[in-house]
Amino acid sequence: MSNVVEAIDVNKYFREPVEFHVLKDINLTIESGEFVSIIGPSGSGKSTLLYVLSSLDRDYEGSVHIDGTELKTLTNHKLSTLRNKSIGFIFQFHYLLSDFTALDNVMLPGLKLGELSHEELEEKAMEKLDLLGIADQAGKKINLMSGGQQQRVSVARALINEPRIIFCDEPTGNLDSENASIVFDMLKKLTRSFDQTILMVTHDDTYSSKTDRQIRMLDGRIEK
């Protein structure tokens, strides 16, 4: 199956504070190697859709498949393996451990997966930091790094287990324009040079227009 992500007839409701139909009849497929952006006005359901597609939120109707597996059929154990192994996450706020070094942060999802030795992981983490142009910062604590460097660390962290797909929610949203274009160019390079699949929420047209395809959300629906 060359579809990395497939959503079929997905609907989602928030029950609180009042019932709210947040995702309406969502059907989509993302193919291997595609760089796709999700765009649309604030409140249109972009983040909610990303959380559903990326397995972080399994409270929906319909079905969502990653690599052919329906997420709701997975046990918690299998779900956590899928997340560690096949999925990378990048958010607007990086959620790095600020008291730890860049290298430790990048290695962490690899340690969780537990497939490589500490030594092998360290080597791999250095390779990812190098790819992001910050190998010289490996030993630095996160709270001593600039916002742009921190977000590059979070991209390296998302890559450590060489996931099939990376989900990003406003990855450039918290950065000045120079760092935003550095991070965006890195993501684009990943899809071009390594056939990485990326699904990115952004409200910034400068970047969405440079992706392979735009999915436009409006009021919980994908606009045709």
One-letter identity of residue 212:
D
- 93 interface partner picked from Mg ion, ligand ADP, none, CB below 5 to 8 A per type: none
Q: Is residue 207 within 8 Å of 45, Cβ to Cβ?
A: no
Question: Cα separation of 80 and 218, whole Å?
Answer: 31
Query: Closest approach of Cβ 157 to ligand ADP, in Å?
Result: 22
Nearer to ligand ADP by Cβ, of 125 and 217: the residue is: 217
154 binds, among ligand ADP, Mg ion, none (CB under 5 to 8 A by kind): none
Write out the residues near ligand ADP by the rule CB under 6 A: 14, 16, 20, 22, 40, 42-48
Chain Cα centroid distance, residue 5? 13
Nearer to Mg ion, 161 or 202 (CB): 202
Q: How far apart are CA 2 and CA 57, in angstroms?
A: 23
- Measured distance CA(159)–CA(51) in Å, rounded: 19
> Is the Cβ of residue 16 or residue 178 nearer to ligand ADP in the bound state?
16
Instruction: Closer to Mg ion by CB, 84 or 208: give it.
Output: 208
> Which run of H or of E encompasses 168?
strand 165-169
List residues near Mg ion by CB under 5 A. 47
Sign of CA dihedral 45, 48, 50, 52: negative
DSSP class of residue 9 equals E
Distances in Å between the Cα of 34 and the Cα atoms of 20, 56, 164, 192, 198 are 31, 21, 11, 9, 6
| Binding partner of residue 19 among ligand ADP, Mg ion, none, CB cut-off 5 to 8 Å per kind | none
Q: Of the two residues 59 and 130, which places its CB atom closer to ligand ADP in the complex?
A: 59
Q: How far is the CB of 64 from Mg ion (least distance, A)?
A: 18
Minimum CB distance to ligand ADP, residue 12 (Å): 9
Choose from Mg ion, ligand ADP, none: what does 48 bind? Cβ within 5-8 Å by kind: ligand ADP
